[in-house]
Amino acid sequence: MRCFKLPLSPGVLAGAVAGLLAASPVLATPECRDDALGTARTLEVPFAQGPVGRASYGRTLPLARGEVVLTFDDGPLPRRTHAVLDALRAECVKATFFVIGSMVAQFPDTLRRTAAEGHTVATHTWSHRYLDRVRSQAVRRDQINGGLAAARTVLAGDEAALSPFFRFPGLGHSPALDRYAAAQRLVPFSIDVDGDDWKRIAPAAVMERVLRRLDAAGRGIILLHDIQPRTVAILPELLRALKTRGYRVVHVVPAQADTQAALAVLDAPRARPIRLALDRLGTRMAARPPAGERQRVAEEAPLLLRAGLFEEEPAPPPPAPAPRNQSRSDGEVRLALVADAPGPARPAASAGPAPRAGWSGFVVVGVAPAANGFRSVAAADAPRTR
């Protein structure tokens, strides 16, 4: 068994370590145990490889039987992503994280830890819009480029962890979307094995589906989500099961020239909310406070709704009286989910209502106090009093 580390320049490594002091209590890289799963080999995936993943493209990476690539979508999210990183670290395993730009803007330190521990950072749009359902080319462009722009803002452009790998939300793609991704020098990644951890099933069911489908395929790209509690619950056991069954983990990395080519043609997002978020992120990264002063966002707070947050296009002026808690443009309703900022009246650990079925396309993108007009999902559903 061998373990691999990606090289980081001294300056980048120093910055990454400083940023991670508050993110994880244990930072030293452990020696691989003799019984750890480990990383069997590193596979460079060049741009010329083209799109991969049988679920969408009918072909996958050049993997031998028994070889698997671990991928995680939709983060970073504190606590859950850190738990995933801890499990991978305990087994000396390297994975690929397809991150959401708006999540990166909220939790850059979690992304920095991901990169510093040698994992590959790929992108998954700005806010998880299902692009095959979006008509606006401007929205498609900003979604695809916003994710990479956010990751580049947090990580150094020449950092080995940053990659041009890209995954369409919901695996929804089209020939036009694939052509645009190619023009942006991105490598679309689909999947071979879906763990269904985003569904409302028990953790044991996720475990069973991953192993059963992997046994049937014999090899391939596994899809999980580092923001899902089911994944956090089963990952240590899943890694041990992969070891027991004789599977070997392959760490996919980009050709460094391909990453630079993608950054060179990066089409900066033009939608004002995304630009403002990226500007704030850039300012935050340029003036980082001491590690001890950083505050974490409670990820388990209730989900709240507010209209117009992170809209891709300007909404028309609201008619009188004031509109209800939503915003409409071109017949679409755009809502963003945010986490309530903890305060004296609401402990940070208080549990909130779970997202309802069909809301998997929304992500938590920010924090705000309820006093500013935010209402919990439960309160939004309650009858209005007159």
Distance CA 84, CA 260 (A): 28
**pLDDT at residue 54, rounded to an integer:** 97
Instruction: Grade residue 293 by pLDDT with cuts at 50, 70 and 90.
Output: very low
Residue 375 has pLDDT above 70, yes or no: no
Convert the pLDDT of each residue in 85-122 to its tens digit.
999 999 999 999 999 999 999 999 999 999 999 999 99
- Structural domain total, the chain: 2
- Same domain (yes/no): 176, 248: yes
Task: Let me know if 258 is a catalytic residue.
Answer: no
Distance CA 182, CA 270 (A): 20
291 domain-assigned: no
Convert the pLDDT of each residue in 70-81 to its tens digit.
999 999 999 999
Instruction: Compute the C-alpha angle 211/214/215, nearest 5°.
Output: 85
- Same domain (yes/no): 104, 206: yes
- Same domain (yes/no): 302, 279: no
- Same domain (yes/no): 231, 127: yes
Strands (E), 244-380: 248-254, 303-307, 328-329, 332-333, 335-340, 364-368, 375-376
Question: Mean pLDDT of all residues in the chain?
Answer: 78
- Same domain (yes/no): 214, 332: no
Q: Which two tokens stand for residue 201?
A: 């099933």
More confident residue, 289 or 180: 180
Query: Where in the sequence is the domain holding 93, given as residue range(s)?
Result: 10-283
**pLDDT at residue 321, rounded to an integer:** 52
Residue labelled with tokens 């709240």: 304
**pLDDT at residue 363, rounded to an integer:** 44
Out of 218, 248, 283, a domain closes at 283
- Same domain (yes/no): 53, 125: yes
**pLDDT at residue 159, rounded to an integer:** 81
Residue 243 has pLDDT above 60, yes or no: yes
109 domain-assigned: yes
Q: Are strands 303-307 and 375-376 parallel, antiparallel or unpaired?
A: antiparallel
Active-site entry in 73, 142, 226, 340: 73
Find the radius of gyration of the CA atoms of the chain: 20
- Same domain (yes/no): 356, 270: no
Task: Let me know if 225 is a catalytic residue.
Answer: yes
- Same domain (yes/no): 117, 156: yes
Distance CA 227, CA 365 (A): 13
- Same domain (yes/no): 158, 190: yes
Q: Which two tokens stand for residue 72?
A: 């995680």
- Same domain (yes/no): 320, 275: no
Residue 357 has pLDDT above 80, yes or no: no
Out of 253, 283, 313, a domain closes at 283
**pLDDT at residue 119, rounded to an integer:** 98
- Same domain (yes/no): 306, 209: no
375 domain-assigned: yes
293 domain-assigned: no
3-state secondary structure of 68: strand
- Same domain (yes/no): 325, 211: no
Residue 270 has pLDDT above 90, yes or no: yes
Active-site entry in 128, 225, 226, 251: 225
